[in-house]
Amino acid sequence: MRKIKDVLRLKLDAQLSHEQIAVALRLSKGVVAKYVGLAAAAGLDWPAVQACDDITLERRLLVAPQRPRGHVQPDYGRIHHELRRKGVTLMLLWEEYQLDHVDQQTYRYSQFCENFRMFAKQLKRSMRQIHRAGEKLFIDFAGPTIPLTGGGRAHIFVAALGASCYTFACATPHETMADWLDATGRALHFIGGVPQLIVPDNPRAMIADPDRYEPRSNDTVLDFARHYGTSVLPARPYHPQDKAKVESAVQIVERWIMARLRHQAFASVAEVDAAMAPLLERLNAKPFQKLPGSRASAFAALDQPALLPLPLQRYELASFKTVRVHIDYHIEVDGHRYSVPHSLVGQVLEARMTTGAVELLHRGQRVASHARSSRQGAFTTVPEHMPATHRAHMEWTPQRLIHWGQSIGPATAVAVTRLMEERKHPEHGYRACLGLLSLAKRYGKPRLEAACSFALQIGACQYRHVRDILANNRDKASIPGYTDAVDEWVSPDHAHVRGPSYYQ
Distance CA 285, CA 22 (A): 59
Task: Pick 136-306's CATH classification: 3.10.100.10, 3.30.420.10, 3.40.50.150, 3.40.50.300.
Answer: 3.30.420.10
Distance CA 47, CA 31 (A): 22
362-400 burial, b for 16+ CB within 10 Å, e for fewer?
Answer: beeeebbebebbeeeeeebbeeebbeeeeeeeeebebee
The mean-pLDDT minimum among 58-62, 314-318, 394-398, 413-417 falls in: 394-398
Helices of type H across 62-212? 76-82, 90-100, 109-121, 177-191
Higher pLDDT, 22 or 189: 189
Query: pLDDT confidence of 495, banded at 50, 70, 90?
Result: low
In the predicted model, is pLDDT for residue 378 greater than 70? yes
Residue 274: predicted pLDDT? 92
When pLDDT is averaged across residues 352-356 and rounded to a whole number, the result is 85
Residue 459: predicted pLDDT? 82
Provide the 3-class DSSP secondary structure of residue 473.
Answer: coil
Residue 12: predicted pLDDT? 83
Element spanning 406, H or E: helix 398-408
Q: Tens digit of pLDDT for each residue in 404-453?
A: 788 888 888 888 888 877 766 666 666 677 778 888 888 888 888 888 88
Closest CA to 221 of 238, 243, 200: 200
The mean-pLDDT minimum among 13-22, 368-377, 483-492 falls in: 483-492
Determine the residue type at 387.
Answer: P
Helix then strand then coil, in percent of the chain rounded to 5, is 50, 15, 35
Residue 211: predicted pLDDT? 64
Given a contact cutoff of 8 angstroms between Cβ atoms, the answer to whether 192 and 307 are in contact is yes
Distance CA 25, CA 231 (A): 60
Residue 485: predicted pLDDT? 41
Query: pLDDT confidence of 138, banded at 50, 70, 90?
Result: very high
Q: Is 346 left (phi over 0), alpha (psi -120 to 50) or beta?
A: left
Residue 63: predicted pLDDT? 59
Query: Across 8-12, 86-90, 212-216, 223-227, which has the greatest mean pLDDT?
Result: 223-227
Q: Which long-range contacts (CB under 8 A, 24 or more apart) does 279-287 make?
A: 280/167, 280/168, 280/169, 282/256, 283/167, 283/252, 283/253, 283/256, 283/257, 284/166, 284/167, 286/256
Closest CA to 45 of 9, 21, 89, 4: 9
Torsion angle in degrees (nearest 10) through CA of 218, 223, 226, 230: -40
Element spanning 137, H or E: strand 136-147
In the predicted model, is pLDDT for residue 127 greater than 50? no
In the predicted model, is pLDDT for residue 461 greater than 80? no
Query: pLDDT confidence of 210, banded at 50, 70, 90?
Result: low
When pLDDT is averaged across residues 268-274 and rounded to a whole number, the result is 92
The mean-pLDDT minimum among 278-292, 388-402, 472-486 falls in: 472-486
Distance CA 231, CA 217 (A): 10
Q: What is the pTM of this model?
A: 0.54
Residue 182: predicted pLDDT? 92
Percent of the chain at pLDDT above 90? 17
The mean-pLDDT minimum among 106-110, 193-197, 497-501 falls in: 497-501
Higher pLDDT, 395 or 432: 432
* Helix (DSSP H) and strand (DSSP E) numbers for the chain: 20, 14
Residue 109: predicted pLDDT? 92
When pLDDT is averaged across residues 398-409 and rounded to a whole number, the result is 80
Residue 438: predicted pLDDT? 83
Query: pLDDT confidence of 281, banded at 50, 70, 90?
Result: very high
Q: Is 197 left (phi over 0), alpha (psi -120 to 50) or beta?
A: beta
- Tell me how far CA of residue 375 lies from CA of 219, 334, 378, in angstroms: 26, 9, 6
Residue 483: predicted pLDDT? 46
Residue 110: predicted pLDDT? 92
Residue 425: predicted pLDDT? 60
CA neighbours within 13 Å on the CB side: how many for 127? 18
Percent of the chain at pLDDT above 70? 85
Determine the residue type at 69.
Answer: R
Query: pLDDT confidence of 22, banded at 50, 70, 90?
Result: confident
Residue 335: predicted pLDDT? 86
Residue 1: predicted pLDDT? 54
Given a contact cutoff of 8 angstroms between Cβ atoms, the answer to whether 371 and 356 are in contact is yes
Residue 34: predicted pLDDT? 86
In the predicted model, is pLDDT for residue 496 greater than 90? no
Residue 482: predicted pLDDT? 47
Beta strands 197-199 and 136-147, pairing class: parallel
Query: pLDDT confidence of 159, banded at 50, 70, 90?
Result: very high
* CB neighbour class for 68 (10 Å; exposed up to 12, middle 13-18, buried from 19): exposed
Interhelix angle 463-471/430-443, nearest 10 degrees: 10
A 10 A CB-CB count for 197 gives 15
Closest CA to 75 of 45, 115, 32, 25: 115
CA neighbours within 13 Å on the CB side: how many for 407? 9
Residue 76: predicted pLDDT? 86
Higher pLDDT, 61 or 133: 133
Residue 185: predicted pLDDT? 93
Residue 57: predicted pLDDT? 78
Residue 275: predicted pLDDT? 93
Residue 424: predicted pLDDT? 62
Q: Tens digit of pLDDT for each residue in 59-105?
A: 777 755 555 557 888 888 888 888 877 667 888 889 889 998 888 88
Closest CA to 74 of 51, 95, 45: 95
When pLDDT is averaged across residues 207-226 and rounded to a whole number, the result is 76
Determine the residue type at 35.
Answer: Y
In the predicted model, is pLDDT for residue 489 greater than 60? no
Higher pLDDT, 377 or 197: 197
**Which residues have a Cβ under 8 Å from the Cβ of 97 and sit 6 or more positions away?**
74, 106, 107, 112
The residue ranges of every structural domain in the chain are 2-61, 76-122, 136-306, 319-386, 396-478
Q: How confident is the prediction for the chain on average, in pLDDT?
A: 82
Query: Across 68-72, 190-194, 364-368, 391-395, which has the greatest mean pLDDT?
Result: 190-194
Distance CA 309, CA 296 (A): 19
Element spanning 431, H or E: helix 430-443
**Backbone φ and ψ of 138, nearest 5°:** -95, 135
